Structure 1
Amino acid sequence: MPGPKGRPAGLDAFKALVVLAWIALLIGSRPQPPGPTVDAAVDPSGIVTLSGTAPPGRPVLVTVTAAGGAVLEREARADDAGRWLAALPLAPGPYAVRAAIGPKASVPLHFVVPEPARLAPLVIDSPPSPAAGSLTLSGRAEPGRGLRVFLDGRPLDLRPPLVSGDDGRWSLRLEVGAGGHTVQVAYADAPQRISDPLLLEVRGAATATPFRPAAPRGRAYVVQEGDWLSKLAETFLGDPGRYPEIRAATNAKAAVDDAFTPIADEGRIRPGDRIWIPAP
């Protein structure tokens, strides 16, 4: 049947299809916003900090699936910088988490909340008098475990890593500058288990003796409702996994100043606690 003005109807239908195809092509060629990403950091108290990226201002649906099939959901919103943050208290066990914005979802991330560590206490022996700032540390730990050393509240990058022997003994030689220092040792795979601070003063080529050291660099902070260690590490240090540094720095400060609240092995902090945030 001819169309208007004698044109075949099939020609008009063909033109309509061409127009629709061009519209679909234009829509498909527009840049699409990126999908969300997700990461997880396990706090020693059992709170898991979930974080990631998403288009600024967009709501993100965070879904956590336990090994038994139980599902927990939490909604977060990306800030102006495209970062989002959420937290869930989780029991020990394996989990998978993904973040979604509508039909766009991240690749599932698998993580494990470990059982509370049952480890031997960490002990630092009082060192002999060092020469010219050269300090030999030794102590006891669970046999065959990797250890992290904190000097003045900051972790040392040791090469090779420090590992306790079959008898649980360990030793380490450090070069430290003159002045006051605090030293602590933690398990590498259970950073919430950390030794009491060893307080030292190094005087040039003289000796190391117990002393009340100057505060490590950083700032005081009063814990607010809704705070937890890995959240504060994300906020002030840029990495939720650096929460042991806050605990070590706070305990070093509390050892010489009663105004600060020590953070116990389980890593719990409470509103009103005065803690020390080390410099980034």
Structure 2
Amino acid sequence: MGMEMMGNLNQQAKMAKMQQAWDMKKSGTLPIMGKTGTSVFKTLAPEKKKTSDAEVKKRISKIKTKLKSGAKLGAADKAFLRKHAPELYRKVLALEKEREAYEERLKECKTRDEVEEAKLQKKGEMSSTLKDTDPEFAMIRMAQMTAAESEAAPSVKQKPWRYEIEQEEQQEKSEAVERLTEKELENRRQEKSREEGQWAGREEEAFSDERFKDMHIAAIRMMPSSELSDAAADYTKGQAAYQASAGMEGAELPEAETKKEKRG
């Protein structure tokens, strides 16, 4: 009986120490030293490591989900990747640079046609590297490039299509031709008006000259023969002076009519 009781007491003591070690582990206090404590922590250590790996995987999964939604990573997520997933961290940094460059390229395009061409080119680049890329990261890259297009959309909407520019240029040319035509027509109208004015002036001068000649011829016919010679001479001088002042030198003089009257 005595040996049996001693065995029970020892067993109870071991169980108590193990319970104490377990309680200290859960409370975060320093582990007990000794044979029993060492045995307990050797048993608990694998469980602790397993929980830590699960947490890392869970956090990385959340980060990937965020990237697949097109979101950008914050400083805390990048720091976590740098520590626990360095390869993914390097890919994310390269992807950020590619996204920024792509967004800037879309904003610098002059027309929406150029924007569409840039989009097709980017899709071609991603398709060509699809075989050599991890499928999950390929989805992340596609989502990030789509997000870049969304970021550039407000700027892209303000850009014209190429056909709109061509229509505007054609309209400007038509308006310029119309303005030139109107100016040319106005110049021609003014020139014609000047020519008509000059012609009317010449007609008026010619009409005045004819009336002058008719009046003198009528006066000559009424003169006696004795005064005809003197009147003809005076008429010739007066007509010559009139023509000189009116700039009509070389025109037929009324003297010819006077001579005809004499012959008659």
TM-score by length of 1: 0.20
Query: Normalized per residue, which structure has more strand?
Result: 1
TM-score by length of 2: 0.21
Query: Normalized per residue, which structure has more helix?
Result: 2
